[in-house]
Structure 1
Amino acid sequence: MLTKNRAASFWNGVRMRTLAASPDPDEPPRMVTVPADWDQDAGAAFAAMAPGTGRASLADASMLWVGPLADHPQASHGLATRLLDLLLRRAAAPLPAVWHGLRGSAPGFVLNLAAFAQPEGGLEIDDFVQACETLAEAMHLLQPSGQTPCSLLLSNLDACLAALGLDYDSDPARAVAACLCALATTAMHPHSVPSRPGASAGSVPPASPVPGLTRFALARWQEAALRGRRSGRSPTHELLPETGPIETGLTAPGHALASWTDALLGVEACGAAPLFSPLRPDGRLAASTLARLAARGMSPEAALAASLAGNPVVAIAGPAATETMHRAITPFLDRAPEAPTEVQAPMRAAAGGGRRELPARRSGFTQKATVGGHAIYLRTGEYEDGRLGELSIAPARGSPVQRGLLEAVSQAVSLGLQHGVPLESYVETFAYARLGPGGAVEGDEAVGSATSTLDYVFRTLAHAYLGRSLPDQPQNAVPAEEPDDALLPLDLPRETHRPSGPRRRHGLRLVG
């Protein structure tokens, strides 16, 4: 958490402020100095990544890795300035290994795609390509041994598409995403293009609605392929002279290293994932939601009125849309997260093709609630007949492990529902489960208190879809105790009859 501004200064023309920040609410905060317009999550992320445990300044921490790059004899003119500009405007930032100067660890950067999309101004193509080339040069200089591959991870795709007025689940959006991936990859592999198993031969960037984007991406992709054929180099994960390989990919949920960098950059949805909820954790509309409303010429009030009338304006993409997006961009990346189709294929074969597909546009609800002081978002997707077909559970704030586990549960339950597992089975399994924080529930009248996040989720689903209101378990309730006769001393009499009502305690207890 962050406190109010305590000090102000300027660095590289950017106003800075000093605040107390901690990535873990249970840990003592540290004083950090960051740009004044950075939000709370960015301050907490910098506190997590900055070397040391005491006071930290973005200026000092950045120069620990930018300085050696600027002094490198092979560095191009202005490399340090370009890197700092990307960082200050939250367009790109290094992974923790770079911040800490860990030699032997794979250096990498996260690129915030949304930073290059301007409402009404289109996509800054030249700026995007220059950013990719700048990061490629930095990674070559940081890892000259060629032993460990570097990573350029793309993130915040949905926010980029929203700023361009595109819906995630649309052909124009997938074309833009493919072109961006192609441009990033050719910047990492200027002498050849990567080839991924399963990608169709001769894949080229598709036509996109952004003026000039397809022409530029196609020209660079074909030029790199031609250079690779002329030089006789392998088009697969090329090793450039005297440098290590650089792989393009995407950030992914639960990626412990990239999650802090995503937070530093203000990423709404990591990697190629769609926006989970139209709301921010504080209940306000997300930037992507506002961008999509602006593209439709609608105010938040008009969108709310339409939603209340049963005509939601902002469609939340589901697993099928993510699957299609992955297929569109995979041929243009070195490494992509495992697509849903790759995970679900064995299940489809085992089930004999019995999966029931969800409609492309579906109803459902998004619920924000607080369980024991921990805020979570629950989103559901329904079939045409109103049956539950998918759900997503995400904590408003939590560790990468917690987010990853809840996402895994969401995906597993969604797949089960789509293959015919009744919701009743999940309710019986997870209701009253004691896995994580529990306590009073706020924001949802269906449940008063819960023993855990999963207990709340499946009891409120039972109320919404099964018409069952499961009672709250008393906060002091504990599992039934096993008979402790085996622990009694041999010379104490055993009870032959236990009276009804609460179990009586003897004055003598055996402690070990």
Structure 2
Amino acid sequence: MTARLHWTGVRMRTLQVMTDPDDSALRSVTLPAAWDDEAAQALAQITLNGGPVRLAAEAARWVDTIDACPPLPGTPANTPLPGRSLSYLLLMQQMAPNTALWQCQPDQTPGFTIRLSSFVQETGFAAEHFVACLRLACDALRRLHAATRIERTGELPLFDLPAQPEDEAAGLILLTDLDACLAALGLDYDSDDARNAACAIAALATTVARTGTKLSPPPIPESPLLGLQTIASSVCVADEALHFCPIETGFSSPAPTERLLGVETCGLAPAFSPLREDGHLRASTLARLACRGLTPESALALALAGETPLPPAHPQAQATMHAAIKNAVDFVPAMPEPELADLQAKLARGVRRPLPMRQTGFTQRAAVGGHSLFMRTSEFEDGTLGEISLTPPRESPMARGLMDCLGHAVSIGLQYGAPLEAFVERFAYTRFGPAGTVEGDPSTAYATSMLDYAFRTLSEAYLGKHMPDAPRIEPNSEDPAPMLPFGRSSGESPEWKDRGRRLKLVS
């Protein structure tokens, strides 16, 4: 493959990664030495084959596919093939294909994801380089669309093919890592200047994607920091005589391509925390500190003195950016709505939610009134309770069977979406034997029943609500067998034995 020649001279390294947490098999992944380990995980996830993965060989598949496509009408005869430039942009982690293009899936929409932060230089935003990258992506997508349109539509080439519809989208261009781009420009995410700059960059991308089509470009807002109006007007004048299929633009959603590019935040989302997962400062945090003339040490000193070196992002900052930028592109990812998510969870009840193959939870061994109880829990992927098991090991078979059936019934209810609060409200503080002092759990001193202890423990572990002990009540002397069916291990109570003897004598 000719695309492999584009990677000569690039320093590579090989990692052993695990793509499935339930499978101990490792895959060998070879990628540039400058890329991090998460990029290796993403590359192994994107690649379909199960053997060793080499970035140069995998990228050659889609690069050579694009190079084999005929050039578009109006392309100069001496224009080089786009494969070399595409390989270079991928190597620099500035642009990467989506999964449909990477895996050469003709039934899916191909596209490219562009990392905005990679176009910020010491002199500011490299608008000319950004436009050139957009032009290359649009040219590659339109070439591929013209060559593979028959495979995507299912038409048979038995007769003369109809002309391509000029309003049919040829692909996608997704922007990502917006917050890191704004930070490198010295802008706070939750500010008017940042929103104007984001709208200007997004509008410029849409203008390039719509150039030469019937669609009119969006207006580019005034942004003195960028000054993109002149560049946008020159783009429209240069290609106004061409008639191409449009390219849709937008901001990306979470996908393996994001990790392949090494972005800080996906799409237009802000970085609410100044720290990475490993505890180090983010690159965007360092950039914003540098714009304020602060070092990490001076910022730490201000924080210890009670001052805030960087203003935190407001919880509504992403919604404000979402509303400001939605008219500059064709689509943006949907905003997370907690109330809607709760409603969807309620509507989804009636469909049983399966537990993961590898489950987490805890096992608690305690004694209530001298009677042992084993309680085990299993959790869903998000840490919520999905299954419980209640076992009184030294009780009668009937008692063990009832407790086991109760645990199964509650587990089925939880997996069908029943709230744990309803079970806690129903079973906490229930009174029946055995009851008394709790041993083995310092958080509870007294329980009115085994179910009282179990569900108050679940409330504290999974709902974050500590329920105090119920008042102690002395056992009723008129009740001849308060522990039934939880009989003592030595057998039946004396009162019950005497009653049985009297029945035999009467018979």
Q: Structure 1 length as normaliser, TM-score?
A: 0.59
Report whether the alignment pairs 1:42 with 2:39: yes
Q: CA RMSD in A?
A: 4.0
Name the amino acid aligned to 1:248.
Answer: T
User: Which entry has the higher C-alpha Rg, 1 or 2?
Assistant: 2
Q: Tell me the matched-pair count.
A: 344
Report whether the alignment pairs 1:73 with 2:70: yes
Corresponding residue for residue 123 of structure 1? 125
Once the 2 structures are TM-superposed, how far is the Cα of residue 204 of structure 1 from its aligned partner? 2.1
Corresponding residue for residue 92 of structure 1? 95
Which of 210, 213, 221 lines up with 1:189 in the alignment? 210
Query: Is the contact between residue 172 and residue 209 of structure 1 (CA under 8 Å) also seen in structure 2?
Result: no
Corresponding residue for residue 228 of structure 2? 213
Query: Is the contact between residue 66 and residue 80 of structure 1 (CA under 8 Å) also seen in structure 2?
Result: yes
Corresponding residue for residue 183 of structure 2? 162
Cα 1:301–1:150, aligned 2, differ >3 Å: closer, same or farther? same
Name the amino acid aligned to 2:329.
Answer: L
Deviations 1:278-317 (A, max 9, x none): 1111111111111111111111122122223332222332
Report whether the alignment pairs 1:102 with 2:102: no
Counterpart-to-counterpart distance in 2, 1:289 and 1:70? 40
Cα 1:129–1:341, aligned 2, differ >3 Å: closer, same or farther? farther
Which of 204, 207, 217 lines up with 2:219 in the alignment? 204
Corresponding residue for residue 111 of structure 1? 114
Report whether the alignment pairs 1:304 with 2:300: yes
Counterpart-to-counterpart distance in 2, 1:110 and 1:212? 24
Query: Is the contact between residue 16 and residue 26 of structure 2 (CA under 8 Å) also seen in structure 1?
Result: yes
Counterpart-to-counterpart distance in 1, 2:169 and 2:54? 29
Structure 2 residues not aligned, in runs of 5+: 73-78, 150-163, 344-358, 362-379, 385-418, 425-458, 469-481, 492-507
Once the 2 structures are TM-superposed, how far is the Cα of residue 132 of structure 1 from its aligned partner? 0.7
Cα 1:188–1:303, aligned 2, differ >3 Å: closer, same or farther? same
Query: Is the contact between residue 113 and residue 175 of structure 2 (CA under 8 Å) also seen in structure 1?
Result: yes
Counterpart-to-counterpart distance in 1, 2:467 and 2:174? 44
Corresponding residue SS for 2:231: helix
Structure 1 residues not aligned, in runs of 5+: 1-8, 196-201, 232-239, 254-258, 348-370, 374-400, 406-425, 432-453, 460-467, 472-494, 505-512
Deviations 1:153-210 (A, max 9, x none): 1100001111111100111111111111111112211035857xxxxxx962122142
Which of 159, 165, 174 lines up with 2:195 in the alignment? 174
Counterpart-to-counterpart distance in 1, 2:60 and 2:268? 31
Counterpart-to-counterpart distance in 2, 1:306 and 1:429? 48
Cα 1:113–1:181, aligned 2, differ >3 Å: closer, same or farther? same
Name the amino acid aligned to 1:104.
Answer: D
Cα 1:300–1:469, aligned 2, differ >3 Å: closer, same or farther? farther
Query: Is the contact between residue 251 and residue 270 of structure 1 (CA under 8 Å) also seen in structure 2?
Result: yes
Query: Is the contact between residue 204 and residue 220 of structure 2 (CA under 8 Å) also seen in structure 1?
Result: no
Query: Is the contact between residue 31 and residue 54 of structure 2 (CA under 8 Å) also seen in structure 1?
Result: yes
Once the 2 structures are TM-superposed, how far is the Cα of residue 339 of structure 1 from its aligned partner? 4.8
Counterpart-to-counterpart distance in 1, 2:98 and 2:467? 45
Cα 1:87–1:63, aligned 2, differ >3 Å: closer, same or farther? same
Query: Is the contact between residue 62 and residue 99 of structure 1 (CA under 8 Å) also seen in structure 2?
Result: yes
Counterpart-to-counterpart distance in 2, 1:500 and 1:115? 73
Deviations 1:105-143 (A, max 9, x none): 11111111111012x331111111111111111111222
Once the 2 structures are TM-superposed, how far is the Cα of residue 336 of structure 1 from its aligned partner? 1.7
Percentage of identical aligned residues: 40
Cα 1:501–1:85, aligned 2, differ >3 Å: closer, same or farther? farther
Q: Structure 2 length as normaliser, TM-score?
A: 0.60
Counterpart-to-counterpart distance in 2, 1:308 and 1:430? 46
Cα 1:41–1:455, aligned 2, differ >3 Å: closer, same or farther? farther
